[in-house]
Structure 1
Amino acid sequence: MSRNLQVAAASVLIGLIVLGLKGAAYWVTGSIALLSDALESIINVAAALAAFIALRISGRPADDNHQYGHHKAEYFSAVLEGVLIVLAALSILREAYYGFLDPRFPDQPLNGMLLNGAATVINALWCMVLLRVGRAWRSPALVADGKHLMTDVITSIGVLAGFVLVPVTGWPQLDPLLAGLVALNILWTGWGLMRESVGGLMDAAPPPDVVARIRELVSTHAAGAIEAHDLRTRHAGRMTFVEFHLVVPGDMTVAAAHAICDRIENALETEMEDTVITIHVEPEAEAKHKGVVVL
C-alpha cells in the first residue's frame, strides 16, 4: 500500500474514533451545537472513504483508455468532499432553526465538554499531519481532507466556547445560534474546496512561483539553444505537465538538440518530482524572440 493510501486509511480510522466521541457528547447533553459537530464528523468519515478510493484510482498506471494516467481522480474526491460539507451545513442549519424555536439547556455539560474536547485534540493533531504531507506529496485529496478537518476543529472550539457561555449567560438560545454560525463557516469552507478542485479539473496552471521556477530552469539548462517559447503548464493531482517549443540553430544535429532536451528534462525532474515534459524542437527560422531567453 502506498504512503498516500496509508494516510487515507488512517483518516478513516481516526474519523470513526472522533465520530464516536462526538456522538457520545451529543447523547449525554442533547445539545444542538454538539449534534451539528457530530453531523460534520459523519461527513468526515464519508469524505475520508472517498479520498481513499480516489487515491487508489489515481495511483493506477496509465492504460490504453487513460494514456495520461488517472491523476485527476483526486479532484473528484475533493469536489465530493465539498458537496458533502455543504449538505452537512444545510442539515445543521435545519437543526439549529428548530432548536432556536424550542431552546433548552444542555444536560451534563461537563461530560459533553470532555468528550468533545478529546475529539477536538485528535482532529487538530491529525489535521496538521494531513496538511503537511498532502502539500509535500502534492495530493489534492489529502489537502482537502486536512482543510475539512480544520473547519471541524474550528467548529468544535466554537461549540466548547458556547458550552461555557450558555450557563454563564442563562440564554439557552445561544446553543442553536452557535450551531447556525458553525454551519455558515462550514458552507464557506465547502465552497472554497469545490472552487479549488474545479480549477484542477479544468487544467489550471500551477502557482505562479512554480511556473517562474520552471522558466528559470529551462533558461539555465538550455545552453546551445536560442530560445524557448509557447511554454504551457498544467497540473493534475500530484503531476505537473510542462510543454514548450525549443528553438535551436538550423545546422545543429539531431543528437545535439536531443542532448539539450535531456539536460532540461533532467533539471526539471530532479527539482520537481512527478513532472511530465514535452519539448518540440524547431530551427532558428521559427524563433519568435519572446518567451524564455536562454542564458
Structure 2
Amino acid sequence: MASIVALVVALGLVVIKVWAWLATGSISLLTSAADGLVDVVASIVTFAGVRYAARPADRGHRYGHGKAEAVAAFVQALLLTGAAVWLGIESAQGLFVPRVLNQTGFGIWVIVGSSLAAAGLVGMQTLVVRRTGSTAIAADRAHYVTDVAVNLAVLIALLLERFLGWARADAIGALAISVYMVWTAWSMAAHSLIQLFDRELDTAERTRIEVVVRGCDGVQSVHDIRTRNGGDRVFVEFHVEVDGALSVAEGHAIVDRAEKKVQQLFHVADVTAHLEPAGIDDERLDDLIK
C-alpha cells in the first residue's frame, strides 16, 4: 500500500511541477520535476521489488526473495545519480546565461503545496519502515526526503528571484539540488550494497546474539557466528557446544531453545544452529578470519 500511495503522489507532483515549469521557465522547478519523474520510476521499481521480495521461499530460492528490495534500492540510486548529473549540467549553463522567470508567484504556491504533500508521504513511509524494516520503502523515503529538500531549495530560489531580483538564484538553487541528489544516491547505494554483499551485522548485534546463546541452559560455548541481512529478514548461523555425553535428543532441545532466543532479538529472523560436543578440535571460521 505504501508503494502504491507513493507512486500516485509522485505522478501527481510531476504533472503539477511540469505545469509550473512551463509557466515560469524556472530551471530549479525543472530540476524538481525531473527529480519527481525519477521518483515515479523509483516508486514503480519499489512496488515491483516489494512484491517480489514478499514471495515465500521456493525450490529455486530457498532463502527467500528478500534481496529484491536491495536491488530495487540500488536501481533507485542509479536513477537518481543519472538525473542529478543531467540537471547539474543544465544548472551550470544557467549560471552563465541567466534566464528570465515568469509567474514566480504561481511557482511559489506550487512548491509550497508539493512540499506539504512530500512531507506527508515521508511521515507515512517512516511509519511503514519502522513497522516492516523494508529496505525498498526506506530507499523510496530517502527520495521523498530529498524531494522536501529540493522543494525548499526551489522555494528559496524563487523567493530571491521574485523579491530581490537575483537572476542567478534559480540556477544556483538547481545546482545545489543536483549535488544533494548525488549525495543521497550514494547513501542509498551504500546501504543496499551492504545487503547485496552479505555484510555481517554490526558488532553490537553479534554481541547480543552471543550473549543470548551463552545464556541458554546447557550451552557451554558458541563459535562461528555468521550473520547477514536478507532484506525482509536477518539470517543467523552459529555453532553451539554442549556436553558430549548428552543424547542427540537432549542436545537438539538445547539448540532449539538457543535458536528461538536469537529469533526473539529481531523483527524477522531465520536462525540455524549446528550442534557440537564441547571442546571439539576442528577447523573453525573464527580461526580462519583471524
TM-score bucket of the superposed structures, by smaller chain:
over 0.9
**Deviations along 1:203-226, whole A, 9 cap, x unmatched?**
012233332322222122x21121
Instruction: Give the deviation of 1:239 after TM superposition.
Output: 1.1
Spell out the pairing of 1:142-181 with structure 2 (5 A cutoff).
Answer: 142-181=137-176
Write the letter of the residue equivalent to 1:16: L
How much identity, in percent, do the aligned residues show?
Answer: 31
The equivalent residue for 2:217 is 223
The equivalent residue for 2:251 is 257
Write the letter of the residue equivalent to 2:135: P
Q: What secondary structure, in the 3-state scheme, does the structure 1 residue paired with 2:279 have?
A: helix
The equivalent residue for 2:274 is 280
Instruction: Give the deviation of 1:55 after TM superposition.
Output: 0.9
Matched, 1:232 2:246: no
The equivalent residue for 2:88 is 93
Structure 1 unmatched runs, 5+? 1-5
Write the letter of the residue equivalent to 2:3: A
Q: Paired residue for 1:80, among 75, 81, 91?
A: 75
Aligned partners of 1:97 and 1:273: how far apart in 2?
46
Structure 2 unmatched runs, 5+? none
Aligned partners of 2:30 and 2:219: how far apart in 1?
64
Matched, 1:53 2:48: yes
Query: 19-28 or 248-257, which moves further after superposition?
Result: 19-28
The equivalent residue for 2:196 is 201
Q: Paired residue for 1:15, among 10, 13, 27?
A: 10
Write the letter of the residue equivalent to 1:224: G
Write the letter of the residue equivalent to 1:283: P
TM-score, normalising length: structure 2? 0.93
The equivalent residue for 1:3 is none
The equivalent residue for 1:246 is 240
Aligned partners of 2:19 and 2:207: how far apart in 1?
51
Instruction: Give the deviation of 1:51 after TM superposition.
Output: 0.5
Instruction: Give the deviation of 1:287 after TM superposition.
Output: 6.8
**Deviations along 1:200-253, whole A, 9 cap, x unmatched?**
100012233332322222122x21121111111111102111111100111011
1:204 and 1:234 in contact (8 A); partners too = yes
Aligned partners of 1:21 and 1:218: how far apart in 2?
56
Aligned partners of 2:143 and 2:206: how far apart in 1?
28
1:227 and 1:287 in contact (8 A); partners too = no
Specify whether residues 236 and 60 from structure 1 end up closer, same or farther in structure 2 by C-alpha distance, changes over 3 A only: same
Q: What secondary structure, in the 3-state scheme, does the structure 1 residue paired with 2:84 have?
A: helix
Instruction: Give the deviation of 1:146 after TM superposition.
Output: 0.5
Instruction: Give the deviation of 1:193 after TM superposition.
Output: 0.9
Query: 133-142 or 187-196, which moves further after superposition?
Result: 133-142
Instruction: Give the deviation of 1:46 after TM superposition.
Output: 0.3
1:25 and 1:113 in contact (8 A); partners too = no
Matched, 1:44 2:36: no
Instruction: Give the deviation of 1:68 after TM superposition.
Output: 1.1
Spell out the pairing of 1:58-73 with structure 2 (5 A cutoff).
Answer: 58-73=53-68
Instruction: Give the deviation of 1:135 after TM superposition.
Output: 3.8
TM-score, normalising length: structure 1? 0.91
1:241 and 1:276 in contact (8 A); partners too = yes
**Deviations along 1:3-61, whole A, 9 cap, x unmatched?**
xxx11111111111221222222122110010000000000010000000011111111
Write the letter of the residue equivalent to 1:67: R
Instruction: Give the deviation of 1:271 after TM superposition.
Output: 3.7
Aligned partners of 1:92 and 1:274: how far apart in 2?
40
Provide the aligned length of Structure 1 versus Structure 2. Answer: 283
